Amino acid sequence: MNDFNFSEFIAMGGYAKYVWSSWALTIIAMASLVVSAIRKRKILYRQYHQQTQQSAARKQRLARQQSKS
């Protein structure tokens, strides 16, 4: 590893565009899977909390109506 040369490493013996685009594409595709998984979990939490809030508000409204009448 003594003769490590950064610009040579980037050049990939003339195959830079093929090698780096392959690796970049792989990493981006895998990362997008992770992002979508996290987003799905967040949507689930948000929807759940919205639903419980709505049903709580509905109950309050009903209780108010009943106390009026």
Partner 1 sequence: MWQAIKNFYHRMGTPREFYRIAGYWIPIFGVCFAVLFIVGAYLGLVVAPADYQQGDSFRIIYVHVPAAWMSLFVYVVMAFAGAIGLIWRMKMAFIVMITSASIGATFTFIALATGSLWGKPTWGTWWQWEARLTSELVLLFLYIGIMVLYSAFTERKTAEKAAAILCIVGVINIPIIHYSVEWWNSLHQGSTVIREGGPAMPASMLTPLLLMALSFQFFYGWLLFIKARTQALTQEQGSSWVKQIIESKQVK
Q: Least distance (Å) from partner 1 to the CB of residue 65?
A: 27
Are 12 and 19 contacting, i.e. CB atoms less than 8 angstroms apart?
A: yes
Q: Least distance (Å) from partner 1 to the CB of residue 42?
A: 8
Considering the rule CB under 8 A, would residue 21 count as an interface residue with partner 1?
yes
13: left (phi over 0), alpha (psi -120 to 50) or beta: left
Using alpha carbons only, how large is the chain's radius of gyration in Å? Answer: 28
Q: Considering only residues 24 through 53, tell me which ones interact with partner 1, judged by CB under 8 A.
A: 25-26, 29-30, 32-34, 36-38, 40-42, 44-46, 48-49, 52
